[in-house]
């Protein structure tokens, strides 16, 4: 029988600083969406593999958490230089497994570097509190790590999303289990290897691969203290309920339906290029994608410019592939259904073929006008390079559409009026708001997180807000001098 050589070696779990070859674990094929070619395999691990990783993380915790934070961050300073050194290789890996353009993949690694820089500033951010609460009696509060924590990632940012959690959680003294998406398991291997090269002790970061079974095992494992999750709303709910019912902390980020409200006084060229980039960047597979535009009043000229901009976005050139054959079929079905329901397809990306990559999973940039709020394309997350345009007469009507959707990741307004912008900032029911910005991702140190069904749990996943998630407060009251026996309530 002919043995096929894979472009990348079969993925293995990474436990206590070593690749682990578990011959008994079933595997799944990994395809590059750029070409449809089989490039690797990934193990579908179960509870036993998880337990080995948790034991390694548990063993590493006492010594790792005992190192002063100013020393712990030195590893991440070194790691940052390794990310810069290997930028091209890391971006190539993201492109290969996820299907992004090289520029998009590189931007993802640049964002990982920014997240690492933020973690390096942690010693300045987590200084504790101290007060003489009574004569000679001192109280102090300091942030302590939780222990073993877990991070479960989606397919759409194989490098950046793991960096939402790894640097902050680990710098703060925790040890971690990372569970990448089984669709894009390659980047995680490289991240673990680079952290080892930077000096991270074995067992502090462990990588386990798999799908539903391993996620459920993470939610159930008694030695995991906190679970962060990024993925679809359906699974975010399941993970949040299961992890918290097992008395763990959990923050679970879900899907999105983000509305871009375009007013007639918006700058036409700037708005058109922003809207087109927002809906099509990373092939529309971003939880911050502006997949829905609401034109308020007469904006036909801006819509025409958006179509012109979208025509410049060409599959296989400046537009990458979507993740799978199934995703391509789902996205094209959304377009077909919207057209059948009476919407006007101004630019049609169905049946896109990239010469030389006929088996890749491509959908061309698509613009659909006169979508109505009752259509499925206006309600569900499409997760492809498709813009659905709705029309209203007033800003209040536009806001009513945005606020009626169950998600609440992002909303944006394009206008030259300060008061209209302010009105949207005040009234949009979403966690991240853009004014003349189509993808309003908060840069560090601001935190990332939506509202409503886009996030379950109290804290955001990055920035200052994440410090609270990854730590617990220890309060100590001390009294050493004899005279303080008086004037103290206890
Ligand atoms: P997904 O929910 O299918 O998978 C996410 C993770 O959950 C993966 O690691 C996967 O292995 C695991 N999983 C899948 N099915 C499971 C099940 N039945 N039980 C337990 N675990 C399971 O999401 P995806 O398709 O990988 O990613 C795309 C989704 O993620 C989109 O909805 C997107 O909006 C969302 N997302 C949200 C954010 C955010 O910040 N809110 C960021 C990125 C992606």
CATH of domain 259-435: 3.40.309.10
Considering the candidates 219, 250, 282, 287, report the single residue annotated as catalytic: 287
- 413-424: buried (b, 16+ CB within 10 Å) or exposed (e) per residue? bbbeeeebbebb
Place of tokens 């790590």: 145
Q: Is the pTM of this model over 0.85?
A: yes
Q: Could you give the angle at which helices 186-198 and 87-98 cross, rounded to 10 degrees? A: 160
Helices in 11-157 by DSSP H: which ranges?
47-66, 69-85, 87-98, 102-120, 122-125
Bridging pattern class, strands 471-479 and 137-145: antiparallel
pLDDT tens per residue across span 213-269: 999 999 999 999 999 999 999 999 999 999 999 999 999 999 999 999 999 999 999
Does domain 13-254+454-474 match CATH 3.40.50.300?
no
- How far does residue 349's CA lie from ligand 1's centre (Å)? 25
Joined together, the tokens standing for residue 225 give 């203290």
Report the nearest-CA residue for atom 11 of ligand 1.
211
Chain segment 319-344, per-residue pLDDT in tens? 999 999 999 999 999 999 999 999 99
What is the CA(29)–ligand 1 centre distance, in A? 18
Q: Whose CA is nearest to atom 43 of ligand 1?
A: 287
Give yes or no on whether 13-254+454-474 and 259-435 have one common fold. Answer: no
Higher model confidence: residue 127 or residue 145? 145
DSSP 462: S
Gap between the Cα atoms of 115 and 126, Å rounded: 16
Q: What is the pLDDT of residues 25-47, one digit of tens each?
A: 899 999 999 999 999 999 999 99
- Which residues are near ligand 1 (CB < 6 Å)? 152-156, 179, 181-182, 211-212, 215-216, 230-232, 235, 238, 253-256, 287, 381, 383, 409, 450, 454
Q: How confident is the model over 304-312, as a mean pLDDT? A: 98
Q: Residue 24: which H helix or E strand, with range?
A: none
Ligand 1 geometric centre to CA of 251 (Å): 13
Other residues' Cβ atoms within 10 Å of the Cβ of residue 386: 30
The confidence band for 93, taking pLDDT boundaries of 50, 70 and 90, is: very high
The 8-class DSSP code of residue 319 comes to B
User: Both tokens of residue 379?
Assistant: 């309600």
* Atom number in ligand 1 closest to CA 455: 41
Looking at the chain, the whole-number percentage of residues with pLDDT higher than 70 is 97
Residue 120 a catalytic site member: no
CA of 137 to the centre of ligand 1 (A): 50
- Ligand 1 atom at shortest distance from the alpha carbon of 323: 25
The residue written with tokens 């993970």 in the block is 239
Q: Give 190's contacts (C-beta < 8 A, 6+ positions apart).
A: 86, 89, 90, 93
Q: Delimit the domains of the chain by residue range.
A: 13-254+454-474, 259-435
Mean pLDDT to the nearest integer, 151-179? 98
Eight-class DSSP state of 182: T
Q: Which two tokens stand for residue 452?
A: 């409503």
Residue 1 has pLDDT above 50, yes or no: no
pLDDT digits (tens, 9 = 90+) for 475-484: 999 998 766 5
């Amino acid at each position: 029988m002919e043995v096929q050589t894979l472009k990348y070696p079969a993925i293995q779990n990474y436990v206590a600083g070593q690749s682990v070859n578990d011959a008994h674990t079933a595997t799944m094929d990994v395809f590059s969406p750029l070409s449809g070619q089989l490039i690797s395999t990934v193990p579908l691990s179960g509870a036993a593999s998880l337990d080995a990783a948790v034991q390694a993380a548990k063993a590493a915790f006492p010594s790792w958490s005992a190192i002063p934070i100013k020393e712990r961050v030195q590893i991440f300073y070194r790691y940052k230089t390794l990310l810069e050194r290997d930028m091209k290789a890391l971006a190539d890996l993201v492109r290969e497994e996820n299907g992004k353009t090289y520029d998009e993949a590189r931007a993802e690694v640049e964002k990982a570097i920014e997240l690492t820089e933020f973690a390096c500033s942690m010693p300045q951010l987590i200084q504790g509190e101290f007060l003489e609460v009574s004569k000679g009696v001192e109280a102090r509060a300091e942030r302590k790590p939780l222990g073993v924590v877990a991070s479960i990632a989606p397919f759409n940012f194989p490098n950046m999303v793991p960096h939402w959690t790894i640097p902050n959680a680990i710098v703060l003294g925790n040890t971690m289990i990372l569970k990448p998406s089984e669709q894009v398991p390659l980047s995680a291997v490289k991240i673990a290897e680079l952290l080892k090269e930077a000096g991270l002790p074995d067992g502090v970061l462990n990588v386990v691969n798999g799908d539903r079974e391993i996620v459920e095992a993470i939610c159930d494992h008694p030695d995991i203290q906190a679970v962060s999750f990024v993925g679809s709303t359906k699974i975010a709910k399941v993970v949040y309920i299961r992890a918290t019912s097992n008395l763990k902390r959990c923050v679970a980020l879900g899907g999105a339906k983000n509305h871009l409200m375009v007013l007639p006084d918006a700058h036409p060229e700037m708005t058109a290029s922003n809207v087109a980039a927002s809906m099509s960047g990373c092939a529309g597979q971003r939880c911050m994608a502006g997949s829905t535009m609401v034109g308020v009043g007469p904006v036909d000229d801006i819509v025409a410019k958006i179509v012109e901009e979208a025509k410049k976005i060409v599959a296989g050139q400046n537009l990458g592939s979507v993740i799978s054959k199934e995703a391509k079929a789902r996205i094209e079905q959304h377009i077909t259904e919207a057209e059948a329901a009476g919407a006007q397809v101004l630019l049609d990306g169905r049946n896109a073929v990239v010469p030389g990559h006929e088996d890749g999973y491509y959908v061309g940039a698509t613009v659909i006008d006169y979508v109505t709020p009752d259509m499925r394309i206006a309600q569900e997350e499409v997760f492809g390079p498709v813009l659905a345009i709705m029309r209203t007469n007033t800003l209040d009507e536009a806001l009513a559409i945005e606020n009626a959707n169950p998600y609440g990741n992002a909303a944006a307004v394009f206008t030259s009026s300060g008061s209209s912008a302010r009105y949207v900032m005040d009234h949009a029911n979403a966690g991240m708001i853009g004014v003349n910005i189509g993808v309003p991702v908060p840069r560090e140190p601001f935190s990332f997180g939506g509202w409503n069904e886009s996030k379950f749990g109290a804290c955001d996943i990055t920035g200052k807000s994440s410090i609270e998630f990854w730590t617990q407060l220890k309060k100590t009251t001390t009294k050493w001098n004899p005279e303080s026996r008086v004037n103290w309530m206890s």
